[in-house]
Amino acid sequence: MMVNEKGDGINNNTSLPSIQQNRPALSWELKIKKRVTVPSCLGIFRPVMGQCCHQCTPNSLSKKLGQNSFLGFRNLLSINETQTRYRGWLVRRVCCVLYVSGCKVYGSPVSDRLERVCQSNRVKEALAAAHKAPEGEDSQGQHSLLSPLLSLINTCISPGLIRFMSWMMLKMFASVFGSIQVNRNHLPALHKATQEGSPLVYVYLRQSAVDCALIPLALLCHSLRTPYTVCPLHVKSSFLRSVLEKVGVILLPPNAATELEAEMDPLYSAVMTSLVRELLHEGQALSVGVSATSGHGGQWLARIRQLIKEGSVPDVSLVPVGISYDCAADTNVKEAGSQPVLQWLSLLLWKKPAGSVMIHLSQPFSLKEMCESGRCRVDEWLPLQDLLLPVIINNRSDSVFGKRRMSWLLPTLHSAPELEEKSHSDRDLSVAIVLHLIFSAASCTAVMSTSLVSSLLLYKHSKGVSTSVLCRDVAWLLEELLFRNRDVGFGGTLPEIIHYSLALLAPHLVIAALPSRKDPLIVPRPSTASVLHLSALAQKVTHTFILEAVGACAVSAMLCEVVLSGISSRVRSDGVEGEEVKGDMEFDVVLGQSELTEKALQLCHLLPPGIMPPCQSTQSFALDAVDSLVRCGILIMEEIPRDIHICDFWKREGTLTWTATDDPYHSDSDCEDQDLRSYKISQPKQCPEMLFFLCRMLAGHLRALCWTTSALDMMDSPLPEAEFLSRIHSDLCDTANQKKRHYESCSEEAAHTAVRTLIDLGVLLQTRQTGTVFLGVSPLFQLSENREKLQRFVSQYLYN
């Protein structure tokens, strides 16, 4: 859906400003052909992102306000006298102070919250279990256990301190970022939900420590209630803790170094659940960050769902938030003291602002509706080894239909009984909500110009590209993004966009301006840090093209089988004989729909969490992946007579499939003869290039899985989980350095995801010894033959 941009009389900045302003300068003159321009539709229409899921929350979707115009953007760092009640030359110099002092702040005093939390049955039971005192003894010993948590319970929001911190953050961010743009399209829905009395819970993906400050600042500037922010930092300084707790920041307890260590304490978990209950009863808003890799932060959403299920809280409105960075500051710190913070702030004073930030606030939806509608189905969730091991080990041609269970996103804490669900289905539903919010937050994230350039340099022009070709491809990729209803976080002419992006990415690129060439040559710098930086930026483009990427990898796997089996395939080359083939390739091969869908289905089980919405079945996603290749022109559907053999090994002759007439997923197309539906690869010159571009989007994740499987040869005995992950990460880095390429497969995130996939597959076994989790190779995969089968299965999706 795209809406017309129209001013509303309040904010005339309906379109993003040109990025030409304050752009970094390059040491060479960029020569770009002026005939290449940005599509004109970008200045008139913009995609609408962040709408509710039409399947899980149809009632919340129907509450959307019926505006047909785009409400525009607002730069939080652009504050002038028109945003205050005063005018004059003196006002222009202190307008930021006047603006912040005039913002509406909803105070949140502590009052008797501590007493209410301590009197809750949940906390009483946790105290009784932690301190089993003899009968008749006073409860002073029990309450002494609460002393490390008292400051967390007394977290409040001081209006004066909030205004001062907001002013300081505006000044600090002005030294870091060129602009902080907020999409205002769903702000009326947030104001309406606030007026209806439903507490708002903002959910975002964790990228850096800056996220925790950006969301409260954006809400304050738009007269929305400042949320209590869950920030899992271990702050040592008592002064800094006191200041942060008075602006609504919920930190880790002083005696816990990590978030997982804190959650293992049953008393902490009980107190936090009761604290959330009291905050929601007060009508306060919450801001929670969730890790897309490990699922950390999901336990806070599980607490809210549990309170709704118990009836302690009527309902809450969830608001996914997408935050995009041109180049995020390196602020992923796990510990914070007064000296490190002051050092970081002093460095910011000497740093020139670089890059922009885009914040998208989505439409709020009811958590109770999502839980009770029954549309987010988890009854088909199965362990990954049940889904793929028969195919990998036994070479079965058909897979078990189902969806991969990812219970590790919400780990069972044996010492925290209040988070243990009564049944697996309830627990899976909590995991499904976490997955849905990860997907929603990623889907409403705008794609920045640096992400476009990074994806093209990594996936299409890894050996180098001229600026004129890069301009042409950026214009093409921009049109494809807008066609898929994905908004972008930049504006201006194409030369300005390319110049701005290359200037920000310059430390990670090799730019050669040769006298013999009209255009400079741009090559990604062949180093681990540079490629990982480009890969992290390109992930937003991969998320947009995930359907096409899965379908392209399935086609690549089919072509690999065709070449190995020698079934009816022909490769034509102009004037070249032998094994070396140059020029235009022609694939004269017919791909059966059923097997192509099966390949896509098996690949879906290997994808990291948050890529697919949990409310969509894997079979439906695989079918959509194949159809997406038809829409983009890579595949051509054709009818094949029965007397012609097609490349389809998934036929099951003599079987009938009965479909109930009241099945909501029933379609008339199910009645068609599936054996007669097949595809051929399109022959235009750009088709193979597009196919390989899409295949490379998932190559980093799949290659890391292959390298991790190879590294198991050196794992003789079980190791502690942290040491095991460290060794795998070290092996991935060594492999990439030896090959001097594919550095995107050696990140810590890639190692963690690969190890987690192998655990779910049953390749690695988890054992707990003396409170420590050990990882070791399972007996089935101690055989080198089975490890080779797993490698072949994964590598079939890698484009070579």
The pLDDT of residue 664: 45
Do 387 and 250 fall into the same domain? no
CB atoms closer than 10 angstroms to residue 224:
21
pLDDT band at 800 (very low <50, low <70, confident <90, very high): low
**362 within some domain:** yes
Last residue of a domain, one of 525, 548, 583: 525
The pLDDT of residue 66: 47
The pLDDT of residue 661: 40
Query: What value, to the nearest 5°, has the Cα angle with vertex 217 and ends 203 and 187?
Result: 65
Gap between the Cα atoms of 182 and 358, Å rounded? 6
Tell which wins on pLDDT, 264 or 509.
509
The rounded percent of the chain whose pLDDT value lies above 70 is 78
Do 173 and 63 fall into the same domain? yes
Do 454 and 434 fall into the same domain? no
Do 96 and 220 fall into the same domain? yes
Q: Stretch 727-756: mean pLDDT, rounded?
A: 94
At 659-672, the pLDDT tens digits run: 444 444 444 444 44
CA-based torsion, 724, 729, 730, 732: positive or negative: positive
At 59-101, the pLDDT tens digits run: 877 776 445 556 788 999 888 777 777 777 777 777 888 888 8
**160 within some domain:** yes
Lowest mean pLDDT among 236-245, 632-641, 771-780: 632-641
The answer to whether residue 429 scores a pLDDT higher than 90 is: no
Last residue of a domain, one of 444, 459, 492: 444
Do 395 and 307 fall into the same domain? no
Q: Which helix (H) or strand (E) holds 754?
A: helix 748-761
Do 353 and 397 fall into the same domain? no
Gap between the Cα atoms of 367 and 434, Å rounded? 11
Domain of residue 471, CATH code: 1.10.10
**502 within some domain:** yes
Do 280 and 397 fall into the same domain? no
The pLDDT of residue 611: 87
pLDDT band at 228 (very low <50, low <70, confident <90, very high): very high
Helix (H), strand (E) counts: the chain: 30, 25
Give SS3 for 769: strand
At 462-508, the pLDDT tens digits run: 999 999 999 999 999 999 998 898 989 888 888 889 999 999 999 99
Describe the strand order of the beta sheet including 677-681 as a list of residue ranges: 590-592, 677-681, 635-639
Do 322 and 222 fall into the same domain? yes
The pLDDT of residue 17: 65
Gap between the Cα atoms of 386 and 15, Å rounded? 50
Q: Stretch 510-520: mean pLDDT, rounded?
A: 82
The pLDDT of residue 680: 84
At 592-648, the pLDDT tens digits run: 888 899 999 999 999 998 888 888 889 999 999 999 999 988 888 876 555 555 554
The pLDDT of residue 439: 93
Last residue of a domain, one of 525, 553, 568: 525
The pLDDT of residue 602: 94
Tell which wins on pLDDT, 518 or 254.
254
Going by their DSSP bridges, the two strands 764-769 and 772-777 should be labelled as antiparallel
**13 within some domain:** no
**Backbone torsions φ then ψ of 488, nearest 5 degrees:** -120, 155
**619 within some domain:** no
* Gyration radius from the chain CA atoms: 28
**613 within some domain:** no
The pLDDT of residue 347: 63
Q: Stretch 205-231: mean pLDDT, rounded?
A: 92
The pLDDT of residue 54: 81
Count, residues in the chain = 800
Lowest mean pLDDT among 16-20, 104-108, 520-524, 688-692: 16-20
Lowest mean pLDDT among 383-392, 635-644, 750-759, 762-771: 635-644
- Amino acid in the structure at residue 480: E
The answer to whether residue 694 scores a pLDDT higher than 90 is: yes
Do 115 and 192 fall into the same domain? yes
Q: Which helix (H) or strand (E) holds 766?
A: strand 764-769
pLDDT band at 236 (very low <50, low <70, confident <90, very high): confident
Do 431 and 486 fall into the same domain? no
Domain of residue 90, CATH code: 3.40.1130
Q: Stretch 379-394: mean pLDDT, rounded?
A: 89
The pLDDT of residue 143: 65
* Mean model confidence pLDDT for the chain: 81
The rounded percent of the chain whose pLDDT value lies above 90 is 44
DSSP 8-state symbol, 746: -
Among 539, 375, 550, 368, residue whose Cα is nearest residue 443: 539
Report the half-sphere exposure of 659 (CA within 13 A, side-chain side): 12
Do 760 and 774 fall into the same domain? yes
Q: Are 440 and 376 in contact (CB under 8 A)?
A: no
Gap between the Cα atoms of 438 and 406, Å rounded? 13
Total domains in the fold of the chain:
4
At 323-357, the pLDDT tens digits run: 999 986 554 444 555 455 556 666 665 667 778 99
Give SS3 for 776: strand
The answer to whether residue 393 scores a pLDDT higher than 60 is: yes
The answer to whether residue 253 scores a pLDDT higher than 70 is: yes
Do 166 and 295 fall into the same domain? yes
Q: Stretch 564-570: mean pLDDT, rounded?
A: 55
Instruction: List residues bridging with 110 in a β-sheet.
Output: none
Residue 310 to residues 285, 304, 477: CA-CA distances in angstroms? Answer: 20, 10, 48
Q: Are 732 and 750 in contact (CB under 8 A)?
A: yes
**585 within some domain:** no
pTM of the model: 0.87
The answer to whether residue 549 scores a pLDDT higher than 80 is: yes
Domain of residue 720, CATH code: 1.10.10.10
Gap between the Cα atoms of 445 and 360, Å rounded? 7
The answer to whether residue 29 scores a pLDDT higher than 70 is: no
**Residue the block writes with tokens 């190879």:** 710
Q: Which residue segment(s) compose the domain that 396 sits in?
A: 381-413+421-444
**211 within some domain:** yes
Give SS3 for 218: helix
Tell which wins on pLDDT, 541 or 406.
541
At 106-127, the pLDDT tens digits run: 888 777 888 899 888 998 888 8
